[in-house]
Amino acid sequence: MSIKVIVAGFKGRMGSTAVDMIKNDSELELAALLDPFAAEKEIDGVPVFTDKNDLVGLDAEVWVDFTIPKVAYENTHFALENGFRPVVGTTGFTQEQIAELITLSADKKLGGLIAPNFAIGAVLLMEFAAKASKYFPDLEIIELHHDKKKDAPSGTAVKTAELIREARAYKKQGAADEEETLAGARGAEFDGFRIHSVRLPGLVAHQEVIFGAQGEGLTLRHDSYDRISFMSGVNLGIKEVVQREQLVYGLEQLL
């Protein structure tokens, strides 16, 4: 029997990609679509709603939420109160909100997932990099993005660096008498290691963590070409939350 799924925010880019993914998986079934901007009453036989209160009592197991920060907390709360397991990609939750939702989910014995990043590959890369840094404390991060990107380093690189900082024993890398003959050549320093940001047309979003040790090297690389890559994480989330009895924060909790 397939898992019945509600998609909130189905008019947005992530929401509509999620709808396509659900339609193409025979183990999943669309139960309802929700979006305040929807004009349709029904799409391909699936009922469409503009007000979440009309979903009370609907037969569905999972609530996929790609809405906006302003309503995501309230939506997740509503989903849990009404027996729908939330799988939420919207960001902007406070620590207090997350703690409260975890408690509520445990009371209701409902699984759930709030994830700032649904790219399984990116999440695995971070986990592997953090683990490897325990044994190989010498490392550098190179992240590569398209040349329209404003900020450097990327948010993913900083997140990766933070996870490495937690796992690795602090070490100031490089030669003690190291000197830059061109300023910036050695990249940005973070906890004693370096981060380099490459920006070129044609690139999308890529990250490499390079570890070096006496006589060996280990390189971990993730390439992200398209937002469709997030859907394998959403898919995994839907199938995992129906088997759990408490909400978790972060896709890594399910891997």
239 catalytic residue (yes or no): no
Sheet holding 42-43, edge to edge: 42-43, 46-49, 28-34, 3-8, 62-65, 85-88, 112-114, 247-249
Q: Is 139 in the site for a second copy (CB under 8 A)?
A: yes
Which among 108, 149, 159, 239 is annotated as catalytic? 149
Residues 89-118 that bind a second copy (CB under 8 A): none
Residues 17-46 that bind a second copy (CB under 8 A): none
Q: Which of 77, 131, 239, 244 contacts a second copy by CB under 8 A?
A: 131
Q: Is 16 in the site for a second copy (CB under 8 A)?
A: no
Tokens of residue 96, six digits: 């207090």
Q: Closest approach of Cβ 160 to a second copy, in Å? A: 13
145 catalytic residue (yes or no): yes
Which among 4, 52, 145, 222 is annotated as catalytic? 145
HSE on the CB side for 160, CA within 13 Å?
32
CA nearest to 119, candidates 204, 10, 188, 60:
204
Q: Which of 34, 67, 229, 247 contacts a second copy by CB under 8 A?
A: 229
CB 91 within 8 A of CB 69: yes
The rounded distance, in Å, linking the Cα atoms of 85 and 246 is: 9
Q: Is 121 in the site for a second copy (CB under 8 A)?
A: yes
Residues 166-225 that bind a second copy (CB under 8 A): 173-175, 177-190, 194-204, 210-225
Please tell me what DSSP assigns to residue 24: T
Query: Does 41 belong to an annotated binding site?
Result: yes
